[in-house]
Amino acid sequence: MPSAKREKALKWVDDNIPEGQEIKSNDPSSRFTELTGLTHGGIMDNWQAWADRGHKGPFLTCCNGFVIQYCVFMGLPIDLVQFDAQDIRNYLGSEKVKKSYAWVDPTTQICPSAGDIMIWRGQHVGIALYADLVGDDAGVRLTSLSTVEGGQNHLVWVQKQDPVDNKLKDTNEVDRNKSYDRIKRKRYPDPRNDPPNKSYSGDKLQGWADIDLFFYGPLGEQETDEGRVISSLWFNHDGKVVHPDAPDGGGGPGYFCNAGPLYGDPFGKGLPHPFSPAAQNLDPSAILRFRKDRNEG
């Protein structure tokens, strides 16, 4: 069963890019701009400038803009939307974030899960949806993977009649009416173009950011007796469950901003966290009273 965060991610995709539909930059509605932060005119200007440079240099598509809007909705940092996997690893492993475990190398896992942010080689990003797995004597293997991605561009050149042979030929001018960028769902392998016996290959992936690991930490989504969820706020750099205000994730020298528990504290209400300095002077009778009150409640 997917976690609450993965269910939220799938619902967002279903609500915005339903199965079988594409969101195109030249559609009359503003859906494309809402989902990417880009406009059709801005993209066409960039493509024409690229053509004027002799088809050299950067070529703008909406792939990163689309995933950034997804991150904003999910409460994920937009720093996860970068083309270089090492930059993402550096961000997750920084002193500020301390979530290096949220980055997954494709050599260590079979495939990403719903809502994970995928980074391809060659400057492309997207969102994982569904994976089809099969198991046999050789082990578990991935047969196909569904994703949703921006940047599925369709570039059309303006054609003009050649005065010599009277045939229409492409010019170096972008047809701004027929060209468009788009967001759509994809499937690997592609059932329309790939052989029927071809399996998914992740060799073009740099890796992915696992949203469950980012939000919930190494232990995943855990519910307490009160039904509250332990988030990765409670995991230090070593993956240990500690109070988020603990110095370097432990008791250590220094003090919490609040000796009492914060909202969503999985260790209960009314008692300081056991790793906190305040817990060192805790009267054992207070623990007994808390346990009694909790049982009676």
Instruction: Report which DSSP code applies to 163.
Output: T
What are the backbone dihedrals phi and psi of residue 10, each rounded to the nearest 5 degrees, phi first? -65, -40
What pLDDT sits at residue 219? 72
Nearest to 13 by CA among 75, 73, 60: 73
The helix-helix angle for 4-16 and 63-74 (nearest 10°) equals 130
**pLDDT < 70: residue spans in the chain:** 133-142, 191-202, 220-271, 273-280, 287, 290-297
Question: What distances in angstroms separate CA 199 from CA 12, 46, 55, 115, 252, one per listed residue?
Answer: 28, 36, 33, 22, 51
3-state class (DSSP) for residue 102 = helix
Residue ranges of E strands in the chain: 23-24, 103-104, 117-120, 124-136, 139-149, 157-161, 168-174, 182-188, 205-209, 222-223, 229-230
Report pLDDT digits (tens) over 207-242: 999 999 999 888 766 655 555 555 555 555 555 666
For 146, other C-beta atoms within 10 Å of its C-beta total: 15
For 215, other C-beta atoms within 10 Å of its C-beta total: 23
Instruction: Report which DSSP code applies to 154.
Output: B
Report pLDDT digits (tens) over 50-94: 999 999 988 899 999 999 999 999 999 999 999 999 999 999 999
d(CA 6, CA 116): 8
3-state class (DSSP) for residue 233 = helix
What pLDDT sits at residue 227? 54
Domain boundaries, the chain: 4-214, 220-296
